[in-house]
Structure 1
Amino acid sequence: MNSREKNQVIVRSVLDQGLTVAQAAARFGVTRQWVHTLVTRYRADGPQGLAPRSKAPKSRPGTTSQAVHGRIVQLRRQLHADGADAGPETIAWHLRDEGLMAPSTSTIRRILHAEGLVVPEPKKRPKSSYIRFEADLPNGCWQADITYCFLADGTRVDVLDFLDDHSRYLLFLRAASAYSGPMVVAALQELIDTHGVPASTLTDNGLVFTARLAGRTGGRNGFEKLLQAHHIEQKNGHPGHPQTQGKIERFHQTLKKWLRPRPAPSTTTELQALLDEFAHWYNHQRPHRSIGRRTPATAYTAQTKATPATPAHDPEWRTRTDKIAAAGTVSLRYAGKMRHLGLGRALAGQPVLLLIHDDHVITSHAETAEILAEHHIDPTRDYQPATRPPT
């Protein structure tokens, strides 16, 4: 309810489409006071005023004071210059000896890292320091990614894979010259039909997996819409941090190590045959160290599969301005594909404002605020007839 997109739809329904505050509150399920607040923010600061605002407290009594922060930095440099131990525990001791309130050693460590006073030494990092996560049940989380292989002539071929996070069971491994968004959607639907609906997915931020994190216009893509339709939680790793998808990244190493001693395939069909052979070996013949030396197939079928937790509906809110084309339509990208909304040739050239809520679109004249038509998007077709005919 607090997203910038929904707030913009609410404000423009009042300012541009002529709804009263009470009508807007009833339509969008918010209070009239909230509608008044949004309109006031928009008039004062424009669209930036509709962004969610921090709820953090204005003061933090437990925050380390600037005096203590500065003294920690001084002690670190002084102790290093003296050739003495300069770890967090030693620094805390000196602070207490000087009559200062010493923060915890973890806080001191964070300050030293933030000031660039700690030289990373990866070789000394203990294995216990790594944060390891694993889904509790099969289908609790599916990791997906696209890697690549090369044919004998050097041609690069994409390989799409889905891996069950709990059991490491390889759900999908298929080669193609290049993977598009609709191809990834079809693969996910095939897996759902075969293995059931997972509780969540984990991918990187590639455009075939997500459009909402890439700053692209056009709303959610087909992959995101399919997840939404089945109440599947979508998880995405941070850009430049492939460790989040560590299992599937490590799986890619296993795959390419297995392919390396074999003759390079001449065609995508030959590569797919190798991938099928690898998938059978990986799932049914190779005991996996991370799952107690069981095969992924055994681990995948050992427990009841997880299902989506049916979280609260996460609606999509957007606005768009356009001019009606000569054919009497306006274009709208929905689920990663361009759709054409019918409004009638008589309105060609007129400027319009589209308010989009999931698959529901209300189109009004951008200058007069007159409601021209309503549409409910049918994702199976391009042309979308109006559910409320143009006036």
Structure 2
Amino acid sequence: MSHANAALTPRARLRLAQLVVERRWTYAAAAKMFMVAPRTAKKWADRYRAEGPAGMRDRSSRPRTSPTQTSPDLVRQIVRLRWRHRLGPVQIAGRLAMPASTVHAVLVRCRINRLSHIDRATGEPIRRYEHPHPGSLIHVDATKFGNIPDGGGHRYVGRQQGERNKRATTGLPKGADYKPRTGKAFAHTVIDDHSRLAYVEICTDEKADTAVGVLQRAVAWFTEHGVTVERVLSDNGSCYRSFAWRDACADLNIKHKRTRPYRPQTNGKIERFHRTLGEGWAYARFYNSEAERRAALPGWLHFYNHHRAHSAIGDQPPISRLTNVPGHHT
């Protein structure tokens, strides 16, 4: 496709060249008809003689040589300072005695002009990935939320009232200090890598049998949505290293992969979902009890999967990436 400032399209260039070469028009006459300079008419006529219609296509405007381009050695020094010390263009320019604008141009060309693109732990550029179709990979993990006592938790009613609500809630176990404990809610989450479609269950623990049950029900849920799960990615938690988990993956014909130790970035999609889950559901508003909060989870999950715009998939909801959902085309 021609650029915005092109005077002629490939079709118009061909017509101009044919008038000159085949009908013997002069360069000036053909140029006048197409409102371009005679030199332009000569250029397209010469290309037509040499290459035929194929010569009318756009070519790169990149110069053959760039004598003033920053040398590869200097580029490596700039990149090394950026990766290892996370310096900005002005600081790098001061160390290397060169213009900051040149440093910025090099950083943009190397795609490390933003520090958010560089991993803090390794200094390497962050490598983002996305599997090609739904079910190619699912992420699994578990996160914990403190249960809410009757009357509301301390996030909304304050510490003192929250403690009073704990004492007033019946059936809570007591710790070594004889104070009531609300306990934890273990949210087992499953995310499809391609579509970001999410499945969540609230459980009382994160043991192997519990994780296996969640996986089996999640795979069945994805199957109902027309998604065949092929791989599953987890961290190195004990439940995911168990024989029960290994056998369950084999029974479901799913290949299990684990992240590198101490590298939660590899499972970053589900880690980010946990933050969204906390902000959008767990701590989004005042809940009068834990039962009320859990009752709100299915509605929020439906909103997340079917209506919430996801910036990573073009501001569309996750369900939009599933083209074979049952009932979708009826």
TM-score (norm 2): 0.51
Q: 1:164 to 1:237 in 2, by over 3 A?
A: same
Aligned length: 189
Q: Give the root-mean-square deviation of aligned CA atoms.
A: 3.1
Please say if 1:262 is aligned against 2:285.
yes
User: Shift of the alpha carbon at 1:169?
Assistant: 0.4
User: Shift of the alpha carbon at 1:247?
Assistant: 0.6
Q: 1:180 aligns with which of 201, 207, 214?
A: 207
Q: 1:291 to 1:124 in 2, by over 3 A?
A: closer
Residue deviations 1:332-362, cap 9 Å, x none? xxxxxxxxxxxxxxxxxxxxxxxxxxxxxxx
Please say if 1:167 is aligned against 2:211.
no
Instruction: Map 1:1-391 onto structure 2 (within 5 A).
Output: 89-90=73-74, 105=76, 118-121=84-87, 124-125=114-115, 127=117, 129-153=125-149, 154-170=182-198, 172-196=199-223, 197-211=228-242, 221-259=243-281, 260-264=283-287, 266-267=289-290, 269-301=291-323
For residues 316 and 324 of structure 2, the distance between their equivalents in structure 1, rounded to whole angstroms, comes to 11
For residues 129 and 260 of structure 2, the distance between their equivalents in structure 1, rounded to whole angstroms, comes to 16
Residues 140, 270 of structure 2: 8 Å contact kept: yes
Q: 1:303 to 1:152 in 2, by over 3 A?
A: closer
For residues 325 and 275 of structure 2, the distance between their equivalents in structure 1, rounded to whole angstroms, comes to 28
Unaligned runs of 5+ in 1: 1-86, 93-104, 212-220, 305-391
Residue deviations 1:253-278, cap 9 Å, x none? 111111323113523x3332122121
Q: 1:209 to 1:120 in 2, by over 3 A?
A: same
Matched AA of 2:190: F
For residues 176 and 236 of structure 1, the distance between their equivalents in structure 2, rounded to whole angstroms, comes to 22
Residue deviations 1:311-350, cap 9 Å, x none? xxxxxxxxxxxxxxxxxxxxxxxxxxxxxxxxxxxxxxxx
Residues 201, 214 of structure 2: 8 Å contact kept: no
User: Shift of the alpha carbon at 1:109?
Assistant: 7.1
Q: 1:190 to 1:133 in 2, by over 3 A?
A: same
Q: 1:165 to 1:178 in 2, by over 3 A?
A: same
For residues 145 and 232 of structure 1, the distance between their equivalents in structure 2, rounded to whole angstroms, comes to 16
Matched AA of 1:226: A
For residues 302 and 292 of structure 1, the distance between their equivalents in structure 2, rounded to whole angstroms, comes to 19
For residues 294 and 302 of structure 1, the distance between their equivalents in structure 2, rounded to whole angstroms, comes to 17
Matched AA of 1:167: S
Matched AA of 2:137: C
Structure 1 residue runs of 4 or more that deviate by more than 6 Å after TM superposition? none
Q: 1:303 to 1:270 in 2, by over 3 A?
A: closer
TM-score (norm 1): 0.43
Q: 1:289 to 1:125 in 2, by over 3 A?
A: same
Unaligned runs of 5+ in 2: 1-70, 89-112, 119-124, 150-181
Identity of aligned residues (%): 27
For residues 132 and 120 of structure 1, the distance between their equivalents in structure 2, rounded to whole angstroms, comes to 20
Residue deviations 1:159-184, cap 9 Å, x none? 101011100001x2111221321121
Q: 1:195 to 1:127 in 2, by over 3 A?
A: same
Matched AA of 1:266: S
For residues 272 and 206 of structure 1, the distance between their equivalents in structure 2, rounded to whole angstroms, comes to 25
**Partner SS state of residue 84, structure 2:** coil
Residues 202, 234 of structure 1: 8 Å contact kept: yes
